[in-house]
Structure 1
Amino acid sequence: MTVLGAPDLRVEPQDGRAVVHVSGALLTAYLADIEAAFAQAAPAEKHVQIDLTDVPAFDTGGAWLVSQLRRRLQQGGAEVQIAGAVDHLALLETVTTATPEVTPQDLPEHGRLEWVANIGRNLVFGWQDALSLVSFLGQTLVGLADIIVRPHKVRWASLVTHMQDVGFNAVPIIALMGFLIGVVLGFQGASQLQQFGAEVFVVELIGISVLRELGILLTAIIVAGRSGSAFTASVGSMKVQQEIDAMQTLGLDPVRVLVVPRVLALLIMLPLLGFVANLFGLFGGALMSWVSLDVNPGMFVTRLHDNIAVKHLLVGMVKAPFFALVIGVVACWQAFQVQGSSTSVGKRTTSSVVQGIFLVIALDALFSIFFAQLGV
């Protein structure tokens, strides 16, 4: 059996040019020994010949080394020729052609007007994202309308699973949040109202705050952070693993298969979670009012019944489906924007939570203005 020698490289001047003599087996197994010599080879002459006559064995690793050396010398302005590579020339050219060109990127300018360019660039990207999100919303609404018209097309197994994840599994954290919000409102309200001898009005403060605003708003925020992030992560992982492409290949619509059941589960469960938050918020407020102000539960319930109109509960519940639609659409849209890596999944999940919470708060502000104009 013939033992091939380790490769070697030396540079010699000859007739006004530099000759790079390469000898030994240029195999991948020896790259660690010879890579530094190739990287340091930098003849000053403008005419360079790479002599491969004494190279008995040659594979893609060796071809890559020679290709990189030739490219580096050519970029330095040298004229490079390959000699003695009759048996290896085809492999060398194949590797050279397959190696991607690395285009150096210009560093961003830091002139006085660069911030204007950044603002314009961000506005363009934001406008494109907004159009994409609106388009995705339209596709989701079409899918929801389709299953309303044809209920037999509902994917019940997927819907029930998502309802359990979104709704039943979230009841403990929603109940605890509502209870603590009621406790905080009762304690703070008592502290302030005692200064004016109006402690009894703490019932109205708690009732209107919880039923009209805080109950459903904080529930939507928790659902956006809990379920919205889960939607983005799960669907985004499917995008990375090309499962969504496989669905399209099979003729399935990813929006109707993946998005519609999740959004429908949110539309059903978010109002119920908001109602749970309201109940526990009132319970926490009643408990703190009893402890701090001696407003017994009977008086609390009586004042709540006499002074808090049902319209306050309805105002809060009307917001729930809109919050659910915003959370579901944003979460799934962000998942569809994932670009083939786990890092992208993490970034999109973060963006999903941030955008979902922001849009929920913005939508709540619009509802407040709307109902104020109506006098409700």
Structure 2
Amino acid sequence: MGAPADFAIEERGESGAVLRFSGNLDITTIAQLDKRLKQIDQPVALIDMADAGHIDTVGAWIVYRLARDQRCEIVNLSESGSRLVEAVGRSDISDIEPPHRPNVLSRTLAGIGEATMTALGSMLGMLGFFGALVRSVISLVAHPGRFRWAATVRHFELVGVSALGIVGLMSFLIGIVIAQQGAVQLRQFGAEVFTVNLVGRLTIRELGVLMTAIMVAGRSGSAFAAQIGTMKLTEEVDAMRTIGVSPVEALVLPRVTAAVLMMPLLGFYSMIVAMIGGAFLCWIVLEIPPATFVVRIQEVVPITDFYVGMIKAPVFGLIIALAGCYQGMQVRGNAEEVGSRTTAAVVQAIFMVIVLDAFFAVFFTEVGWG
């Protein structure tokens, strides 16, 4: 082992003192030296390294810091020591100003712009994904034997049959809520009988299909994204492409077909159950017999309301399945991506369903089906 690190200070007149290092300036010997250097209370004009031995990164940092703080020159430093001091000097960030933090307005506008660009990119990606789906449909029309009937029937069960319980309970309670709130407001005008009109038109035209779509998006759309995302993560989708199987035909098309065909049936089921809930409350609270409720529904609800609901249902099913499958196909990297893409699929599907529902409301009113 070499001599331990040490230093001596020699006076040099008005220009300042000369600090001479000696011994090995390395991590094993420099701890006490560092404390003594910090206690120097006089200006140092020159650092002489002629008597210094081995110097490592820690020693180079001590020498560099002393020269920086005292604003003095280092002389008689070996070539390797010079390289080390230069390297630690380049890594010194004490003189670098912290990055400017923009104000709240700028950050807000930047966040809005970033979210807008992300949404536009996602919309364009979904359009491209829809194009791939259409191409697969055309290919299957030419080769119907490739259609996966077993997978489609399985998804019929998962999307439709398995959802009957939760959709039925939700619809029944929504029917009760609509009837109860409508009756409370209409009672002020002595028009409780019009509660039947409110229940019938809202459930058949709007809420039956809309609430069903939201439930399917949260239940089946998320499942589509998680299933396909997990397959992407485990490279099963890549294996399909390797053996010549189209992932769109094998994974996406059965799910989209099931969602498009099951949504009208679930929507119709939701309408009926919601009206049963409304009829139950009208019978208990307003003393309107179920038979009278049914006759009144037939009188006040036009058949066009039913057509509107049935037209919207398959479109909502297509949007939900597309969002779920598209987000599942975008999974990259790790398991955390599966969760974030599943959340994105549900949010995107519900958002697009509500936007399309508003568009349909305006459109059908303009064409005289209001």
TM-score normalised per structure 2 = 0.75
The one of 237, 240, 245 aligned to 2:233 = 240
| 2:147/2:249 contact within 8 Å kept | no
State whether structure 2 residue 122 is matched by structure 1 residue 76. Answer: no
> How much does 1:227 deviate?
0.6
1:335 counterpart letter in structure 2: G
CA separation of 1:122/1:198 partners in 2, compared to 1, >3 Å: closer, same or farther?
A: closer
SS of 1:375's equivalent? coil
Structure 1 residue runs without a partner (length 5+): 1-7, 22-37, 51-70, 79-105
The one of 54, 71, 76 aligned to 1:19 = 54
In the alignment, which residue of structure 2 is the partner of 1:147? 140
The one of 314, 317, 320 aligned to 1:321 = 314
State whether structure 2 residue 293 is matched by structure 1 residue 258. Answer: no
CA separation of 1:40/1:140 partners in 2, compared to 1, >3 Å: closer, same or farther?
A: farther
Structure exhibiting the larger radius of gyration computed from Cα positions: 2
| 2:27/2:59 contact within 8 Å kept | no
In the alignment, which residue of structure 2 is the partner of 1:44? 63
In the alignment, which residue of structure 1 is the partner of 2:102? 110
Q: Distance in 2 between matches of 1:130 and 1:305?
A: 41
CA separation of 1:133/1:47 partners in 2, compared to 1, >3 Å: closer, same or farther?
A: farther
Deviations 1:70-110 (A, max 9, x none): x99774149xxxxxxxxxxxxxxxxxxxxxxxxxxx95742
TM-score normalised per structure 1 = 0.73
> How much does 1:127 deviate?
2.6
State whether structure 2 residue 189 is matched by structure 1 residue 215. Answer: no
Q: Distance in 1 between matches of 2:85 and 2:162?
A: 64
Deviations 1:270-307 (A, max 9, x none): 11111111111111111111011111011111112233
> How much does 1:42 deviate?
4.6
SS of 2:188's equivalent? helix
| 1:17/1:48 contact within 8 Å kept | no
Alignment of 1:264-303 (within 5 A): 264-303=257-296
2:102 counterpart letter in structure 1: H
| 1:11/1:43 contact within 8 Å kept | no
Q: Distance in 2 between matches of 1:190 and 1:327?
A: 34
> How much does 1:203 deviate?
1.6
Structure 2 residue runs without a partner (length 5+): 1-25, 31-47, 65-76, 91-97
> How much does 1:221 deviate?
0.2
Q: Distance in 1 between matches of 2:143 and 2:87?
A: 65
Name the % identity: 41
Kindly report the root-mean-square deviation, in angstroms, between the aligned alpha carbons of the 2 structures. 3.0
Alignment of 1:40-189 (within 5 A): 42=61, 44=63, 75-77=87-89, 109-110=101-102, 113=106, 115-148=108-141, 150-189=143-182
CA separation of 1:326/1:186 partners in 2, compared to 1, >3 Å: closer, same or farther?
A: same
